[in-house]
Amino acid sequence: MSDSPEAPAFLQGIEKVLDLLSKICLIIAGVALVTMTLMFAWLVYGRYVLNDTPTWVEQVSHLLLMVIAFLGAAVGVRQDTHLAVVLFRTTVPTKVRTVFVFITDVLMASFGGLMFWYGLQLTQFKWNSLIPLIRVPEGLRSLPLTICGALVFLFSLTHLIRLLLGRDERKDSIE
């Protein structure tokens, strides 16, 4: 985000760590997307050429889809590219906009905290049962939700810190 000299050192350090986390999430989601694409190519080849459908593809693709969706959503919060309704924020004066942004960030941090808490409980509850056909813990299905919740909480919290320190550089767009 911002590395200008006025930014407090702790904020610069946090920003670098969170930027790294965001990049790691993007890489993992990208690898998951490519893997899922290759798996479906194998599924089609197996079904129509070999006449032997690989049954594990559907279960693994569900896991990969969770990784792609939830890590992508967390990165969207970090980069402020997630789906947002900004019409009201762009039509009001700057002071009112700041209040709207503050409320949005508090709600997003709260939502992320709840996602983490309940996702963790769901992951722990489901961990001892296995997903059919691939024999891995069922809790893996909700692990991306849990990780996303923690990341959304952290990313929203840093948005709040920057906002309160007068360092918020986000721009609303209705394009």
pLDDT (tens digit, 9 = 90+) per residue, 30-49? Answer: 999 999 999 999 999 988 98
Using the Cα atoms of residue 36, residue 124, residue 83 and residue 159 in order, give the sign of their dihedral. negative
Residue-averaged pLDDT of the chain:
88
H-state helical runs in the chain: 9-48, 56-78, 87-91, 94-126, 143-164
Q: Is the pLDDT of residue 90 over 80?
A: no
Alpha-carbon torsion (122, 127, 131, 134), positive or negative? positive
Would the pLDDT of 137 be above 80?
A: yes
Q: Tell me the per-residue pLDDT of 50-86, one tens digit each, with 9 for 90 and over.
A: 888 888 998 999 999 999 999 999 999 998 887 666 6
Instruction: Tell me the CA distances in angstroms from 157 to 18, 160, 163, one per residue in order.
Output: 11, 5, 10
Helix-helix angle 9-48:56-78, to 10 degrees: 160
pLDDT tops 80 at residue 4: no
Task: Give the confidence band of 172 by pLDDT, cuts at 50, 70, 90.
Answer: low
Opening angle at CA 144, ends 138 and 149, nearest 5: 130
